[in-house]
Each structure stands twice: as structure tokens, then as C-alpha cells.
Chain A
Amino acid sequence: MSEVAENAGRLDVAAPAIELIGISKAFGSVQANKDISMTVAKGAIHGIVGENGAGKSTLMSILYGFYKADSGSVKINGVPTVINDSHDAIAAGIGMVHQHFMLVDNFTVLENVVLGAEEGATLGPSLRKARKELKRLADEYELDVDPDALIEDISVGFQQRVEILKALYRQAEILILDEPTGVLTPDEADHLFRILRNLKEQGKTIVIITHKLREIMDVTDSVSVMRRGEMTKTIATSSTSPEDLAEAMVGRRVLLEVNKSPAQVGETVMEIVNLSVTDAHGVKRLKNVSFELKRGEILGIAGVSGNGQSELLEVISGIGAAQSGEVRMQGEAIDISPKANAGMRRARGIGHVPEDRHQRGLVMPFMTWENTAFGYHNEPEYSKGFGLANQKYMMQDAREKMERFDIRPPIPQLIASSFSGGNQQKIVLAREIERNPDVLLIGQPTRGVDIGAIEFIHQQIINLRDAGKAILLVSVELDEIQALSDRILVMFDGVIQGERLPENTNEGELGLLMAGVDPEAKA
């Protein structure tokens, strides 16, 4: 009898909408997902939080059939389901709003919705049906969009609605949103959350990937935390706090060992005053950012990527332009209009190690002796006059730099792409540091760099500081920021969320700031 009751009890409980069992996925040597299991109840809004590269997007792309898991299985509504491609995912009732929208820019809203869900060989009937259906969905979920507008003519917020409409039009019962508020204005984000709550009321299941803890606390019923490819925690939102989540997200890290004497801070060399940047879509990337940079200090900027750090580096290094504000170098304002360029910055003594060394730091198919001179190739010592390059000197110069920076193998004729990540980064560092800049901007100095090289690179940065230079360090690696910085600024959503001294803070507090929560304001 008890057995019958138990079975009956099971039948009463609806099967979870999503069940992931032991999902693993590796890209080359990088384990993006390690044995991940997760359940999401039907009709729930479930959040997945984690830092950059924690494996959130990979996990959801597996669920949507964009990648194939190396191992593990998926159940949808309790039914084991094999999802080989997006077609299978759609058939299983899963819809996904990608971080970068999957829309055809010169199609109308209607055409985008219909694409892939046509009813027959000719379009007329499908378009008529979709027009009617869009009207119904608009009324039901506050999802109004002009069906005849071209995608390229509507705002990012509306484009996102089209993505949601696409999923609903395909009868999706499960909706996955990848960083949905990253591109939205605050008003648009509020509207999105209203839509999501409406969808939930209609019994849809929603999974939302984000790094913003406030959103998680606001909108979700349950939340999973991912760190370095693993799922560290799954909990009901009501029984957790931003502090708990931040800790689970960032983890207790072993501090990197860095030999560092106390900073001998000198006079201010660079001032950033009310700097604001608006991107091509009208989204504010940088909002009235102000700070000072002094000789002999390393100023670390922490934050999850995409919160304005890249734009900040681009403006200061002359690659990008700012709409308002000022950058002063030794008291004198420098050009931050679109007319500025990186060469002008170098002439002012501002060196730059770009975040993306493959795109901006090096010319990959070019040889090392060329790469060690780029940007400075017009300097007199590299020239033989008449616009001719002094190859012999450039070669000699490269050989010396390779020796001093322990770049292996020290052969100037090797092309940049033949070196490991660590050695490539050392080529960039050698070029910029040996120019003896007053200010060095460094973005993600150790991304994709092996442990041995990390230590070396950190030491070079500290040596430069000790030589009385000012260093602005941008990194998404919190432990790197903590180990190197003499002062830490945390950026979130284009503003400086807080300033801390490394000795007076911990990763928990920094993690909260990175997720947009100010612990002091709350207390």
C-alpha cells in the first residue's frame, strides 16, 4: 500500500522542466563544463550566475543544441531528450535569446519571426498567421513591436523583444536568456523583467544567465552559481543573499605570491575627469568616470568584462573616443575626440598593452623583430633615413628585448603566432615597457598565459612601478588585481562602484561591488 501511495505521490509532482545530468564539455584543453547537474522546476525563473568564462553560456548552448556535450544527458519534462541541433531544441519546446541577437538586420520583424517556422512553400499564409499571432502575443505579454519595421531601424531593446517573440511563436515552453540586460537601458531592463514575470504567470519556464546579482535577487525563484566550469551551488533565491552568492561566485582564492615592497607614490601624472562614452547603439558604456593616477602606483580596475573597462582603456589609449569629460596628462588635457590616435598617445608617454593581444597587440603573421618595433617604427633609431627601415638595428633590438624578457626561443625571425600565449604577451610588454612610458595601460596582462610567465609578467609590472611610473591595470582576474594593485577601483555598468585599498578589503566585498551591490550603502 505504501508503494502505491508513493507512486501516486510521484505522479502528483510535475516533472522538472529541465534536468541536466552530468554534463561535461571541453574546448581543447579548456574544461568549460565539468560534470554539471541542474534541475529547473516548471514555471520557475531560474538564474545562473558566474564570472566571465565560468561556463554559463556554454552550458546553455549545449541545452540549445549549439554545442554537443562530451558526456551527460538532458531530460525535458522528465523525458530523456537528445538535442543535436537547434532544430531538436525547438522541437523540445526550448527557445533561446542569445547574447548577440540572431536576427537578420535587413529583414522585417515579421520575416525574422517567421524564418524557420514557415507553414508552407509560399510565404503569404505564414506571414498572415504570424501577423495575427504577434498581435495576440503583444497584447498578452506587453511585447509590442511594429511587425513591418526593419530590424536595423529598431532599438536593441526592441530587437530583444523580437527574439523573445521568435521563441514564443515557436511555442517555446522554456526560454533561455543569455545576459539579457547587458545591452539594455535601465527602463528597458525593467520592462524585460515585467515580460518575464508575465511569461512565468502563463506557466513558462525561464532560465536567465547574468552576472548581475541585483537582477537575480529581483526576478528569480532559484539560482545556480557557476565557477570555473563547475556548478558550486543551487539554492532558492529567498534563502540566499547577495553576499552568499558573491562568495560562491568568486570563491576563496589562494592569493598569488608577488614580491612587492610598499609603493612610493609620487605626484599625480594623469587625471580622468567625468569621462562618458556612448556606443553606436546609444547605450552609455562609461558614465562620468573620474579618478587620478599617480607616479609609482599600480591602480587596478576590477570588474566583470563588459562593464566599461574596455571603453576606458580605448579612450585613454587613443583607440576610441569619448563624448564628454577630460583626460589630463601632467595637467594638460589630451585629445579624446575621434581625431585622436594611438600614435599621439605614445608621443605623450602613454604606453598600452591591449586587452586583446591577437587583434591589437601584435600582427600575428609578422616576425618578432617587426612586432617589437610596431607603433614606434618611425622613431629615428629604427630608420635609415629616406623612409627606409633599419632592419639590422631592429633585429638587434628585438634580440636584446627577447633576452631581457626571457622570450623563448629568442629568435627574432619567428612569426608572432608561433609563440605561446605567455611569450606573445612578453613581446608586447617588452615593446611597451622598454619605451619607458610615464603611464602604462595594461589590459588583461595574463589572459591565456601560463603560470610561469604570469609570475614574470607581474614582476615586470612591479619593477616598472618601482621605477616611478604610473600603471593602470585592468583585469577580470580578481586575484591578479588583489595581488598587484596599490589601489583598487571596481567598475560596474560604466560607473566606478567603489574604491578600496587591497589591505582593507577581501574578495567577498569586491565580488559584491563587481555585481553592482554596494555593501556599505546597504549597511
Chain B
Amino acid sequence: MLDFLTNDLLQLSDSAVRFAIPLLLACLAGLYSERAGIFDIGLEGKMLVAAFAGGAFSAFAGMSVADGGWGMGGWAVWVGLGAAIFASIMLSMIHAFASITLRGNQLISGVAINFFAAGITVLVGQYWFKMGGQTPQLRGGQRFEPITLPFAEALRDVPVIGSIYYDLISGHNIIVYLGFLIVALTWWILFRTRFGLRMRAVGENPGAVDTAGISVVKLRYSALIITGILCGLAGAYLSLGTAAAGFGKDMTAGRGFIALAALIFAKWKPIPAMWATLLFGMLEAIGSKYQTLDLGIIVLPGQFMQALPYILTVVILAGFVGKAIPPKAGGEPYIKER
């Protein structure tokens, strides 16, 4: 039993965190957008394009000049990150232009972004690298390396606390720590700053914001820029911060939609968003650790275990987890009424 606690549970928790991070970042990205009154089902597409841009540019930057790269060594991963964020912001601005300026249908714009992303990543990937849409395997300075926190080695042998610190808390890459920092930061922005107040207001009643003398359009664009940045981080984590070490076709695998489900589950609040995505991460971790699970009475097959996060998504979206009230003005373009 103790063995299970110290080893299996710790190991599960550790991989739950790793699986949760891209979900968490995408979920927070969606939070900014939806709190400002713009539905965003294009999280998936933005993440995918960011993952590709990150993988591709990190590969170019890390390759030696002799091989046709830019020979930037340890800086390569940062070039990749910058490219990922830039690409994601661009897509987010297309969504913003369609749904804020042109007052188009936000769901259709989001779907279009997802389709565009699925196609363009493979097309450009094949053109650049000729590896069937994949980017080359990333190594060393082309990837985010795990960070060993201070005293982790020294405390490693202290019972329970030491192993929690060493195995669970230490040893992740920078984006993981950044992700949790952003949860706290988002809470602070949302509930303690002027920008947060206005953003929450514009998602509930843009008329109130407009008559208070604040530009609805500027506010919503600002929120979508943040959405772009966070989706960029989520995508970069997938290609630059996981064992995949590079971009693979459709590597987001529906995570953008799971993040949306988590957002609803979390009722559009940042701290619950963290717990919701950690829950999804845990299910994914269980699915990948136990191929089959023997419960004594029945044996759950591996396919079922892997489907767990998706099953939970369906359960949440079907409304089985209580009433979730979305921001009231969500999905509606703002037009001054007559």
C-alpha cells in the first residue's frame, strides 16, 4: 500500500501535471476570450498551429548553418516559442476581426480556424521538411529542458515530503511552472484589476461598458491577444516541452475541445480551471499507465482507459455536472441598439 502511494500515485500525479499543462493553458486562453464575450472553439486550431510553428522554427534555429539552419544553439527553443506565440496571435486576430469587427458568427469562425490549422500545418510541414507533415526530431537546445529546483537532490531521500518535492514538484520544464503562475496571475487580473473588471463586464453586458465610455472593440481585441499568447504557450509546450520532441500531424488530438469542456466545468473561473484540467490530466495519466484495469468483477479494456478524458468531456458538455452559466453576452456581436 505504501509502495502504491509513494510510487504509483506520485508517478501518476507527475504525469497528470504534464498532461494537464497544455489543457490548462488552452483553458485559460478560452477563459479570457469567453469572459470578454467571444466564444472560441478555435483553441484547438490555434494550439496546433502554435505547436507546428514552435517545432519548425526551433528546428531551423537549432540546425547548424552548414545544414541550412541558423545555428543559434541554445536560443533555438526560444525562437520556437516566439514563433508559436506569434502564429497563435495571428490566428486569434483573424477570429477577432471576423467576430468583433465584421460581427460574424463566432462558432463558424472558430470552426474555420480549426480546419485551416489542420491543413496548413501538414501542408507547410511537408513542403519544408518532407517528412509527411512532421518536423525533425528536436534535441538539446531545441527543447525545453527539465529544471531541477533548489535542494531537490539534497531532499530526495527525506521520506514522503522529499520524494514529493523531487518527483512531483521539481523536474518540470519552464512552461509548467509558468502555467501555474498564470493561473494566479489570471485570478489577480480578473478580480483585482481595472482591465479584469472591464473584461468581465464586456462579456456580460457590453451596453454597460459602452455607456460607461469604454470601447467595447478595444477591450475584446485585447482579450483575444491574450488568448493568442496562451494558446501559443500551450502549443509550444506540446512540440517543445514533451517527449514528442517535435511536431506531429494533429498532435493536439482534441485537447482544445477538452480545454473548452474544462472551462465550462470550471464555470469560467481560473482556480477551478486548474483543478478541472488536473482532473483531465489525471484521467489521461491513468489511461496511459494502465493498459487494462482489473476491478475484480470486470476488466476494463485499454481503449476504455484511453477514452476516459473524452468520456468526461461528453459528460460535462451534456450538463451532468450542474448548471454552468456562461457569460451572458457570449456569442453575440455587439451592435448599438436602436
Contacts and interface: CB of A to CB of B under 8 A. Distances in A.
Interface of A: 27, 64, 66-67, 85-91, 96, 98, 100, 102-107, 111-112, 114-118, 120-124, 126, 166
B257 to A, nearest CB: 26
B194 A121 contact: yes
A107 to B, nearest CB: 7
Contact of B211 (A102, A107, A124): A102
Contact of A104 (B195, B196, B208): B208
B130 interface: no
B192 A114 contact: no
Nearest to A117: B212
7 contacts: A27-B338, A102-B211, A105-B328, A115-B197, A115-B212, A116-B198, A120-B194
Q: Which of A66, A91, A124 has the most CB of B within 10 A?
A: A66
B214 interface: yes
Given A118-B194, A126-B194, A86 B208 contact: no
A115 B191 CA distance: 13
A53 to B, nearest CB: 11
Given A27-B338, A66-B336, A85-B213, A123 B197 contact: yes
B308 interface: no
Contacts of B214: 87, 115-116
Contacts of B195: 121
Interface of B: 191-198, 200-201, 204-205, 207-214, 328, 336, 338
Given A86-B213, A104-B205, A117-B212, 14 more contacts: A66-B336, A85-B213, A86-B212, A87-B213, A88-B213, A90-B213, A100-B207, A102-B211, A104-B200, A104-B204, A115-B208, A123-B193, A124-B192, A166-B212
B209 A115 contact: yes
Query: What are the 8 closest A-B residue pairs judged by CB atoms, nearest first?
Result: A116-B212, A87-B213, A118-B194, A102-B208, A102-B211, A86-B213, A104-B204, A104-B201
Contact of A107 (B193, B194, B204, B207): B204
B220 to A, nearest CB: 15
Given A86-B211, A86-B212, A102 B194 contact: no
Nearest to A85: B213
Contacts of B191: 123
Contacts of A126: 194
B192 A96 contact: no
B60 to A, nearest CB: 39
Contacts of A96: 211
A455 B288 CA distance: 76
A121 B200 CA distance: 15
Nearest to B213: A87
Contacts of B213: 85-91, 116
Contact of B210 (A67, A86, A103): A86
A120 B336 CA distance: 28
Contacts of A105: 204-205, 328
Contacts of B196: 123
A154 to B, nearest CB: 15
Contacts, number: 75
A89 B200 CA distance: 24
A203 B267 CA distance: 46
Contacts of A98: 211
Contacts of B200: 104, 107
A121 B193 contact: yes
A116 B192 contact: no
A106 B204 contact: yes
Contact of B198 (A66, A89, A115): A115
Nearest to A116: B212
A103 B208 CA distance: 5
B308 to A, nearest CB: 33
A123 B194 contact: yes
Contacts of B336: 66-67
Nearest to B196: A123
Contacts of A85: 213
A166 B195 CA distance: 19
Contacts of A87: 213-214
A105 to B, nearest CB: 7
Contacts of A86: 210-213
A152 to B, nearest CB: 10
Nearest to B195: A121
Contacts of A166: 212
B201 A115 contact: yes
A120 to B, nearest CB: 7
A103 B212 CA distance: 10
A189 to B, nearest CB: 23
Given A102-B211, A105-B328, A122 B205 contact: no
A140 B338 CA distance: 35
A18 B212 CA distance: 21
Contacts of A106: 204, 328
A111 B212 CA distance: 12
A368 B36 CA distance: 40
Contacts of B208: 102-104, 112, 115
A236 to B, nearest CB: 31
Contacts of B204: 104-107
B192 A123 contact: yes
B253 to A, nearest CB: 35
Which of B194, B204, B211, B212 gathers most chain A CB within 10 Å? B211
B338 A122 contact: no
B214 to A, nearest CB: 5
A102 B205 contact: yes
B193 A122 contact: yes
Nearest to A126: B194
A5 B200 CA distance: 58
A166 B214 CA distance: 14
Nearest to B325: A106
B334 to A, nearest CB: 13
Nearest to A87: B213
B319 to A, nearest CB: 20
A103 B214 CA distance: 14
Name the residue in A104, A121, A166 with the highest tally of chain B Cβ atoms < 10 Å from its Cβ: A104
B141 to A, nearest CB: 37
A67 B211 CA distance: 11
A103 B197 contact: no
A23 B231 CA distance: 49
Contacts of A120: 194
B187 to A, nearest CB: 13
B207 A102 contact: yes
Contacts of B201: 104, 107, 115
Given A66-B336, A105-B205, A122 B212 contact: no
A116 B192 CA distance: 15
Contacts of A102: 205, 207-208, 210-212
Contacts of A117: 212
Nearest to B336: A66
A91 B214 CA distance: 12
Contacts of B328: 105-106
A104 B329 CA distance: 10
A117 B197 CA distance: 11
B197 A111 contact: yes
A100 B328 CA distance: 16
A121 B197 CA distance: 10
A107 B199 CA distance: 12
A473 B210 CA distance: 39
Nearest to B337: A100
Nearest to A64: B211
A90 B209 CA distance: 13
